[in-house]
Amino acid sequence: MRLLFVEDDADIADAVRGNLERSGFAVDLAYDLAEAIAATESQKYDLVLLDLGLPDGDGLALVHRLRRRRDPVPILVLTARDAVSDRVSGLESGADDYLVKPFAHAELVARIRALLRRPAQHLGDRITVGRLAYDPGTGTFAVDGQPFELPRRERALLEALVRRAGWVVQRGTLEDALWGFAEEIESNTLESHVSRLRRRLAQADAGVEIRTFRGLGYMLRAIGG
C-alpha cells in the first residue's frame, strides 16, 4: 500500500516514514502544500497522512482540493492542534480521521489499517465505469440504464470494487465487505464470488472487467481502460 505523508519537519517525516516502512507500507514524503498537491496529481495513493501546519499554507487546503475533484482517498490528519474545534473543522472538511501529536506508532498503524479496510466512499451522486452505473444513494446498479440485479454477496463485492474503480482493492477489504467477523471464510470463497460476478458482468455486456493481482487483490476497470 502506497501512502503520502505530508510533513514539513524533516526529522519527524523521516522517523515516521521509517517506522511505516518497517510495518510494510511504501511512503512518499511531501514537505509542503505545493509538493503534496503535485504528488496527488501525479500518483494515486491508498491513503494520505497530513500535517496541517505547513510552511506554504494550511493542510486543510489539500483536503478541500482532493474532495472538490471527488478523490475518495482516505485522509488521516496528524497535527498538534488538539482543540475540539480543530478536529471538527478537519473532519467536516472531508478528512476521515484525526490523530493528535505526539502519538504512538502502534496507534497510527492501527488507524491506517482501519481506514484502508473501509470500502472507499464515492463523493458524487453516481459512479459510472464502462456501461455500468452505480447509485450510492440507493445501492443499485444499472447497465445502459437498465437495472442490473445481483445476489447479495456479489452486489456487495461489486459495490466494494466500483467505489475504488481503477484501484487494486485488497482481499481483506473485499472479505470485510462480504462477510461478518463471526463468519468462516474458506480459502477459495472470494475467488468463487469473483468468478460468478465476472460471468454476470460479461453476460450483461457491462463494458467492465475485474483484473486479478496475485497476492494483492482485484481491480474493476472499464474494458480497454
Residues 6+ apart with CB under 8 A from 196: 154
Q: Can you give the pTM of this predicted structure?
A: 0.54
What is the arithmetic mean of pLDDT over 82-105? 74
Q: Phi then psi for 220, rounded to 5 degrees?
A: -95, 135
Give the alpha-carbon dihedral of 212, 17, 109, 219, to 10 degrees.
Answer: -10
Q: Is 44 helix (H, G, I), strand (E, B) or coil?
A: coil
For the cut 60, the answer to whether the pLDDT of residue 114 exceeds it is yes
CATH number of the domain located at residue range(s) 127-222 in this protein: 1.10.10.10
- Confidence band, pLDDT 50/70/90 cuts, at residue 171: confident
d(CA 130, CA 5): 33
- The ranges assigned to domains in the chain are 2-117, 127-222
In this structure, how many other beta carbons lie within 10 angstroms of the beta carbon of residue 142? 18
Distance set, CA 140 to CA 90, 148, 158, 178, 202 (Å)? 31, 8, 11, 16, 18
pLDDT for 125: 54
- Confidence band, pLDDT 50/70/90 cuts, at residue 85: low
Single out the residue of 64, 94, 75 nearest to residue 4, CA to CA.
75
Q: Which residue has the cell 497522512?
A: 49
pLDDT for 122: 44
Per-residue model confidence as pLDDT tens digits over 31-77? 999 999 999 988 888 899 999 889 998 888 898 888 888 788 899 99
Question: DSSP string spanning 89-138?
Answer: HHHHHT-SEEEESS--HHHHHHHHHHHHHSPPPP-SS-EEETTEEEETTT
Per-residue model confidence as pLDDT tens digits over 135-160? 865 678 999 999 999 988 898 899 88
pLDDT for 6: 95
pLDDT for 52: 86
Say if residues 39 and 85 touch (Cβ distance below 8 Å): no
What is the arithmetic mean of pLDDT over 123-133? 78
CATH homologous superfamily of domain 2-117? Response regulator (3.40.50.2300)
Per-residue model confidence as pLDDT tens digits over 19-35? 988 888 888 999 999 99
Same-fold call for 2-117 versus 127-222: no
Greater model confidence, 85 or 7:
7
d(CA 206, CA 222): 9
